Chains A and B, each alone.
Chain A
Amino acid sequence: MSAGSAGESSAGAGSGGAAEGPSVARGVGGPPIEGIRSRALSIGVATGAYAISFGAVSIAAGLNVGQAQALSLLMFTGASQFAFIGVVATGGGLVVAAATAWLLGLRNGLYGLHLATVLTPRGRPGQRLRGWRRMGAAHFTIDESTAMALAYEADSDATRRAFWATGWSVFVLWNLGTLLGALGAASLSDPRVLGLDAAIPAGFLALLWPRLVDRSAWALAAASGVLALALAPVLRPGLPVLAGAGLAVAAALWLSRGKR
């Protein structure tokens, strides 16, 4: 959901298994398969715990339990979900909230471009997914499932298991966590008392942290943050994020033109 610690740490090395059967639905498999399932589960638990905070801050931002749950069920990409409620929380318009969420979700499209070439139907190596199965794979195309699939990329059977096991694990636990957090926060009179408005920027920071890998990333982040704050007094709520990030991205692309 969020390229947070869970997704990043899952991208390590992995070895492939070759037993039959879909990874989650059936209990078959030797040690490598067990490794996939336990890793998928631990990633799901970590993101599910994070979803509790998403559910809670959604309520603090003014959504109801159903709307928070709908985001986790249908949007199902954590950074975008957080961006949506973050813009709503600061009084930004709904169109801007949707646009910000969409831009943050663009990377999922890039994951899909690559996953489409490595995810194969069971028992038919070399072919691509089609129809409903492809739509399901698209819905599950998030940071964590992509990282796990790529960690097992050497073996198409293990790739498929890793992707679906992680996708299901995160989907179920992410939605369960959202429900718990939303119901919990909805029972409070004023979520600000619990500091939930501070949980929103902390969530963004935790999502940003693993991406700050070098000085140019830090410079980009600093420029974007400063630009957004500088534009905030003159633009309508929500727009400073898009404008600040847009300017910073344009500058970064211009500065890195021609480099590989």
Chain B
Amino acid sequence: MWPAVLVASLGAFATKWAGHLLPESLLERDLVRRAAAVLPIALLAALLAIQTFWSIDGFVVDARVAGVAVAVVLLRLRAPFLVVVLAAAATAAVLRALGWG
């Protein structure tokens, strides 16, 4: 685990630093700008889907789905970040305490 933590951290820093060292004209490239806009959305959505429905045993609908559903409602109500995350965790915890998921 430690090597992965350190290598990934180094990669993150190298990316930031490279941004400060490279010429700004890179930003004028159309492909760079469009890729930068869509990449985080695609990655976050894929992570969200896998983390909500996938487990080591395969596709599963469990307490996490209910937690994410609560998060959707709270985000629509413009709840703060921490409230959203805590409410999702609490929802899953309560459902498990009741014997589901």
Interface residue? A11 (CB, 8 A): no
Could you tell me which residues of chain B, from 1 to 26, have a CB within 8 Å of some CB in chain A?
1-13, 15-24, 26
How many residue pairs between the two chains, A and B, have CB atoms under 8 Å in the bound complex?
A: 315
Taken together as a complex, chains A and B put the C-alpha atoms of A110 and B44 apart, in Å, by 18
Question: Does the CB pair B67–A90 fall under 8 Å?
Answer: no
Taken together as a complex, chains A and B put the C-alpha atoms of A207 and B44 apart, in Å, by 7
**Which A residue sits closest to B51, measured CB to CB?**
A201
- A197-B81 in contact given A80-B12, A229-B59, A253-B34 (Cβ < 8 Å): no
Report B-chain residues with C-beta under 8 Å of the C-beta of A253.
Answer: 31, 34-35, 38
Tell me if A's interface is mostly helix, strand, loop or mixed: helix
Taken together as a complex, chains A and B put the C-alpha atoms of A1 and B37 apart, in Å, by 17
Question: Does the CB pair B16–A139 fall under 8 Å?
Answer: yes
Interface residue? B47 (CB, 8 A): yes
Q: Which of A46, A97, A200, A237 contacts B8 (CB 8 A)?
A: A97
Interface residue? B32 (CB, 8 A): yes
Interface residue? A38 (CB, 8 A): no
Taken together as a complex, chains A and B put the C-alpha atoms of A62 and B5 apart, in Å, by 12
Chain A: interface residue total (CB-CB under 8 A): 107
Taken together as a complex, chains A and B put the C-alpha atoms of A6 and B80 apart, in Å, by 8
Taken together as a complex, chains A and B put the C-alpha atoms of A242 and B44 apart, in Å, by 10
Report A-chain residues with C-beta under 8 Å of the C-beta of B72.
Answer: 205
Question: Does the CB pair A193–B93 fall under 8 Å?
Answer: yes
Q: Which of B11, B32, B50, B71 contacts A206 (CB 8 A)?
A: B71
- A225-B46 in contact given A50-B85, A201-B88, A202-B85 (Cβ < 8 Å): yes
Question: Does the CB pair A249–B81 fall under 8 Å?
Answer: no
Measured between C-beta atoms, what is the minimum distance from A18 to chain B in Å?
Answer: 25
- A201-B48 in contact given A104-B40, A206-B71 (Cβ < 8 Å): yes
Measured between C-beta atoms, what is the minimum distance from A146 to chain B in Å?
Answer: 10
8 A-B pairs closest in CB distance: A112-B19, A198-B67, A195-B92, A202-B88, A225-B49, A198-B92, A94-B4, A74-B9
| Given A79-B44, A95-B4, A252-B34, 19 further pairs, Cβ under 8 A | A49-B82, A53-B82, A67-B5, A77-B16, A97-B4, A97-B8, A98-B4, A101-B8, A108-B12, A109-B19, A110-B36, A134-B21, A194-B89, A195-B94, A202-B87, A208-B48, A225-B48, A245-B45, A253-B38
Query: CB within 8 Å of A: which residues of B?
Result: 1-13, 15-24, 26-27, 30-32, 34-36, 38-56, 58-59, 63-64, 66-68, 70-72, 75, 78, 80-82, 84-94, 96-97
